[in-house]
Amino acid sequence: MQFISLTFIVFFVAVCLLYYVCPQKFRYIWLLFASYTFYLSINVYYVLILIISTLSTYICGRMISGKEKVSEKRTPLIMCIVFNVLILGVFKYTNFFISSAFGVAGLFGFNGEFNALNIILPVGISFYMFQALGYIIDVYNGKIEAEKNFALYALFVSFFPQIMSGPIERAGNMLPQFKKSAGFKYENMRDGLLLMMWGYFMKMVLADRMAVVVATVYDSYDKYYGTVTLVASILYTFEIYCDFAGYSNIAIGAAKVMGYNLMQNFESPYLSGSISGFWRRWHVSLSSWFRDYLYIPLGGNRRGTPRKYLNTMIVFAVSGLWHGANWTFVVWGLLHGFYQIMGSVLMPLRNKIVSILKIDRKAFSHKLIKIICTFMLVNIAWVFFRADTFKQAFDMIGHMFIMKPWVLSDGTLYNLGLDRPNFLLMIMGLIVLIVVDICNTKDIYIRDKIKKQGIWLRWGIYIAAVLFIITCGVWGPGYDSASFIYSQF
């Protein structure tokens, strides 16, 4: 069952109706049942992994809980982490490690042939496992008490709106909400549905449209040169944002309808003026997870500049690997680490230039240049993320900067899989997206503005938006509803 399906809509409505009909103290049981039903609908065998991970972290949490001595707590914690990371490793990285080993062996003259093992990655494993690991680390650190109610904990790990692609929540935020099981609030329902609608717009109208152009160029990257390649790379930058932020908005909105507040995952990331700013706004739940459970335990900023840089590179390398079992993902992560380090190293020089040229840091032009530079750096990194091989990535980047601006007006762009109306719709949608993001950074929320309108205008906007999404959204025959990019991680 995918978010982009009638089945999910029917499932979601049924779950919500029964949720509010259910007595408050049993609501979490109903949600647990619904969550497992949702996950079972994807693949029966995946549930076994989910149960094993849930059980192991639950038991570990109970074992650690109440223990004063670090030595008594550390062993179960490490065992549990190793056990879960091993599961993740087996499913996600076996082929990667073996093929890498073959690659290294090849450097020494070994010419064996590697046939990839047929291991299917359970959907959402990277997300729910990180969430579960975050829980036991929080228990270990004494931030939260271990949850005694297994069903409640199992719900925390498997909550259906977020199990496939996050946000990677914290037990401290979610468990109290599950215990309390909020009652029905019209505002929650309205805000949640509006957020879901915005998510569907980002995914169905924008991401899946951009995916067509991106796939056309990336699949035949050796045939495209110049501005077309640049446009495709920029569209991928927006595609992955719309795809993942779209998913997150649907997840957060769905939880909101039931009265649960999930953390924000995206905060207008492409309007960041620096790479560090970008990572404070992009996939916030994962970035903060790495900060809290990897970067800080590694020593963070506390052990001097060289160690800080090393920690940064380690975190981004792991982040790359988390996103995908391929060296291109690792390079994507390392590139971001490199950007951050260079940002720090060059900070004095940049400050000096600003000072000498008497640049007003608050000026719009200065902010715009910073945003554009950051965007382009992120854009180049995404090429490694999207490419299947380094050759493809380097060719794409090489082709990107060949000047052929006339393709913007000679109709070439309408021959990349989208015809003129679809291409223009995509561009208009992107303009709307950017305007909304700009408004959000200025604390102007379109949702709030709409809510303040009279009922007929408000309803008119709601109805028009729903009809627009289901009419102009990319779905139906030939559409792969399982194509949320981040659900593959």
Q: Which is nearer to another protein, 52 or 467 (CB)?
A: 467
Distances (CA, A) of 136 to 11, 89, 132, 155, 286: 31, 19, 7, 15, 16
Q: Which is nearer to another protein, 151 or 465 (CB)?
A: 465
**Per-residue mark of binding to another protein, 322-351 (x: CB under 8 A):** ------------------------------
Angle at 262 between CA 256 and CA 267, to 5 degrees: 105
**Number of residues near another protein (by CB under 8 A):** 17
Q: Is 481 in the site for another protein (CB under 8 A)?
A: no
Q: Is 454 in the site for another protein (CB under 8 A)?
A: no
Q: Which is nearer to another protein, 222 or 419 (CB)?
A: 419
Q: How far is CA 367 from the centre of its chain?
A: 26
Q: How far is the CB of 50 from another protein (least distance, A)?
A: 28
Q: How far, in Å, CA of 211 to CA of 244, rounded?
A: 13
Q: Is 476 in the site for another protein (CB under 8 A)?
A: yes
Q: Is 471 in the site for another protein (CB under 8 A)?
A: yes
Q: Is 10 in the site for another protein (CB under 8 A)?
A: no
Q: Is 109 in the site for another protein (CB under 8 A)?
A: no
Q: Which is nearer to another protein, 363 or 464 (CB)?
A: 464
Using CB under 8 A, pick the residue from 261, 475, 482, 483 that binds another protein: 475
Q: Which is nearer to another protein, 2 or 141 (CB)?
A: 2
Q: Is 429 in the site for another protein (CB under 8 A)?
A: no
Q: Is 419 in the site for another protein (CB under 8 A)?
A: yes
Interface with another protein by CB under 8 A: which range of 49-57, 171-179, 245-253, 472-480? Answer: 472-480
Q: How far is the CB of 432 from another protein (least distance, A)?
A: 17
Q: How far is the CB of 467 from another protein (least distance, A)?
A: 5
Interface with another protein by CB under 8 A: which range of 30-38, 113-121, 335-343, 458-466? Answer: 458-466
Q: How far is the CB of 466 from another protein (least distance, A)?
A: 6
Q: How far, in Å, CA of 318 to CA of 264, rounded?
A: 22
Instruction: Say if CB 203 and CB 247 are below 8 A apart.
Output: yes
Q: Is 466 in the site for another protein (CB under 8 A)?
A: yes
Q: Is 477 in the site for another protein (CB under 8 A)?
A: yes
| Contact positions with another protein (CB under 8 A) in 119-178 | none
Residue 328: strand, helix, or coil: helix
Q: Which residues contact 239 (CB under 8 A, 6 or more apart)?
A: 206, 207, 210, 211, 214, 485
* DSSP type of residue 292: I
| Contact positions with another protein (CB under 8 A) in 287-306 | none
| Omega of the bond leading into 167 within 30 degrees of 0 (cis) | yes
Give which of 216, 230, 172 is closest to 376, Cα–Cα. Answer: 230
Interface with another protein by CB under 8 A: which range of 220-228, 281-289, 383-391, 475-483? Answer: 475-483
**Per-residue mark of binding to another protein, 182-211 (x: CB under 8 A):** ----x-------------------------
Residue 202 CB coordination number (10 Å): 28
Q: Is 463 in the site for another protein (CB under 8 A)?
A: yes
Q: How far is the CB of 14 from another protein (least distance, A)?
A: 16
Using CB under 8 A, pick the residue from 421, 428, 431, 453 that binds another protein: 421
Q: Which residue has the tokens 């951050």?
A: 340
Instruction: Say if CB 256 and CB 19 are below 8 A apart.
Output: no
No. of H helices and E strands in the chain? 20, 0
Instruction: Say if CB 244 and CB 165 are below 8 A apart.
Output: yes
| Contact positions with another protein (CB under 8 A) in 167-186 | 186
Q: Which is nearer to another protein, 6 or 117 (CB)?
A: 6
Q: Catalytic site residue 283?
A: no
Q: How far, in Å, CA of 339 to CA of 379, rounded?
A: 12
Query: Which tokens is 394 given?
Result: 């380097």
Sign of CA dihedral 328, 330, 336, 338: negative
Q: Which is nearer to another protein, 170 or 203 (CB)?
A: 203
Q: Which residues contact 202 (CB under 8 A, 6 or more apart)?
A: 241, 242, 243, 245, 246, 249, 433
Q: How far is the CB of 156 from another protein (least distance, A)?
A: 31
Q: Which is nearer to another protein, 412 or 422 (CB)?
A: 422
| Omega of the bond leading into 306 within 30 degrees of 0 (cis) | no
Q: How far, in Å, CA of 164 to CA of 43, rounded?
A: 12
Q: How far, in Å, CA of 363 to CA of 367, rounded?
A: 6
Instruction: Say if CB 267 and CB 440 are below 8 A apart.
Output: yes
Q: How far is the CB of 383 from another protein (least distance, A)?
A: 30
Phi and psi at residue 8, to the nearest 5°: -65, -40
Q: Which is nearer to another protein, 263 or 425 (CB)?
A: 425
Q: Is 408 in the site for another protein (CB under 8 A)?
A: no
Q: How far, in Å, CA of 171 to CA of 155, rounded?
A: 11
Using CB under 8 A, pick the residue from 16, 246, 473, 484 that binds another protein: 473
Catalytic residue among 283, 323, 336, 399: 323
Query: Which tokens is 291 given?
Result: 């900060």
Residue 125: strand, helix, or coil: helix
The residues of the shown chain that bind another protein, judged by CB under 8 A, are 186, 419, 421-422, 425, 459, 462-463, 466-467, 470-473, 475-477
The residues annotated as belonging to the active site are 323
